[in-house]
């Protein structure tokens, strides 16, 4: 099902398309995990991609960021095909992901993890300034800047993973299940920060099982089921849809 765009989303449609995925297919052996998925993210948007566990959301993000080969389709970032480019090339161009499971460098300190987020940069003074900016967003990280990342709580590691991604100065920030496994209080904090980052001008593609929270933040949404996009449109309309509420909000 595709909903008509609202006035807000129509105005967004006149913006520049930063990320366009067309008919993406991804297979694991003989199993097709992503079956012709298409979506786009425009400059300044926060777009949510929701769906049940196993719907193909994470596989889609891995293909978009070049960490999982695709079996077909086209991925364009900033108007150019990403075909043949490694993940590091895409990070250099501003396509940056906060992975599911955080993936922090456990034997490095918080500061060293943030420095790793800027590995594609060589502007040392500005890197130091961006670390201070991350510490401003996440004061808890500043308090523990010399602590080993592996000794932090899950919520603190999620903050660090988000901060590390910001160090690459993303043009599009892809976030894969940032609230997974966190306490309700920490979930509130993470979604608050996601909204703040977006309000400060970062374009975001948010992949989440917490459909309600994701759609509340987003301007537009896509619903994935069994490797396909089954619904798309204005996030508030999706949030109110009885099928979405029954399937993903437990109603």
Q: What is the set of domains in the chain, with CATH numbers?
A: 7-102+170-248 (3.40.50.300)
Verdict on whether the full-model pTM lies above 0.85:
yes
Looking at the predicted structure, is the pLDDT value of residue 15 above 80? no
pLDDT of residue 169: 96
What are residue 232's DSSP bridge partners? 2, 222
SS3 102: coil
Chain centroid to CA 245: how far? Answer: 22
Question: For residue range 116-128, what is the model confidence (pLDDT) as tens digits?
Answer: 999 989 898 999 9
Sign of CA dihedral 54, 209, 204, 168: negative
pLDDT of residue 9: 46
């Amino acid at each position: 099902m595709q909903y008509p765009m609202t006035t807000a989303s129509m105005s967004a449609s006149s913006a520049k398309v930063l990320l366009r995925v067309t008919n993406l297919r991804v297979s694991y052996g003989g199993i097709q995990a992503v079956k012709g998925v298409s979506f786009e993210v425009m400059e300044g948007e926060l777009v949510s991609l929701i769906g049940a566990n196993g719907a193909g959301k994470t596989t889609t993000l891995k293909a978009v960021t070049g960490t999982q080969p695709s079996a077909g389709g086209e991925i364009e970032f900033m108007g150019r095909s990403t075909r043949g480019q490694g993940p590091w090339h895409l990070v250099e161009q501003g396509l940056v992901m906060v992975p599911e499971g955080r993936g922090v460098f456990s034997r490095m300190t918080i500061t060293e993890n943030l420095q790793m987020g800027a590995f594609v940069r060589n502007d040392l003074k500005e890197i130091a300034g961006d670390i201070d900016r991350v510490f401003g967003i996440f004061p808890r990280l500043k308090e523990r800047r010399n602590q080993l990342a592996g000794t932090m709580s899950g919520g603190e590691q999620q903050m660090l993973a988000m901060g590390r991604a910001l160090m690459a100065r993303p043009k599009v920030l892809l976030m894969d299940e940032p609230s997974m496994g966190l306490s309700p209080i920490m979930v509130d904090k993470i979604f608050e920060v996601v909204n703040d980052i977006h309000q400060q001008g970062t374009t975001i593609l948010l992949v989440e099982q917490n459909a309600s929270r994701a759609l509340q933040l987003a301007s537009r949404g896509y619903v994935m089921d069994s490797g396909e996009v089954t619904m798309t449109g204005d996030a508030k309309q999706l949030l109110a849809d009885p099928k979405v509420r029954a399937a993903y909000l437990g109603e």
